[in-house]
Structures are given as structure tokens and as C-alpha cells.
Amino acid sequence: MNCKGVIREISDYIDGELDLSVKQELERHLEHCGECKMVVDQTRLTVDVFCDSKPVELPGEVKSRLHDALRRKLQEKSV
């Protein structure tokens, strides 16, 4: 497998969705290609930082408008 092949398979590799033989071929390439290893590691970290980032509180005025709309809907249903 060459560098282009690694880049094409990088997503499935990160997600653990590669066939064993392709995975082994890719990992053999990573053993001697520092640049591809860097791209794999950084792409994995990219996914992780987005996935692991903490929630931001809902802005107060947005929350008020949501709950006002919800209250109207709940009242409407209970009438």
C-alpha cells in the first residue's frame, strides 16, 4: 500500500472498519512512513477533540424563548 492508499482508507481505519488484510497492509506502511503515521494520528485526534468537547450552556434568552413556546404548546394540548 502506498501513501495515497493509506489516505483513502484512513477513515475506515480509524473507525476499525477495515478488513484484516487491508488493516495489516496499512499498518506495515505506517511502520516505515512517518508522514502517514502523523496524518493518521492527527486525524484520529481531530475526531476525538470534536467528539469530546464539553457542552456550552444554552444562551439565557434562547432558553427563555424555547420554554415559552413549549409552555404554550403544553397549554394548548391540555385545553
Q: Catalog residues that contact other proteins under the rule CB under 8 A.
A: 3-4, 7-8, 10-12, 14-16, 35, 38-39, 42-59, 62-63, 65-67, 69-70, 73-74, 77-78
Distances (CA, A) of 54 to 13, 14, 27, 57: 26, 22, 32, 10
Least separation in angstroms between CB 52 and other proteins: 6
Rounded CA-CA distance 14/1 in Å is 17
Question: How far is the C-alpha of 40 from the C-alpha of 24, rounded, in Å?
Answer: 15
CB of 28 to other proteins, least distance (A): 20
What minimum distance in Å lies between the beta carbon of 47 and other proteins?
5
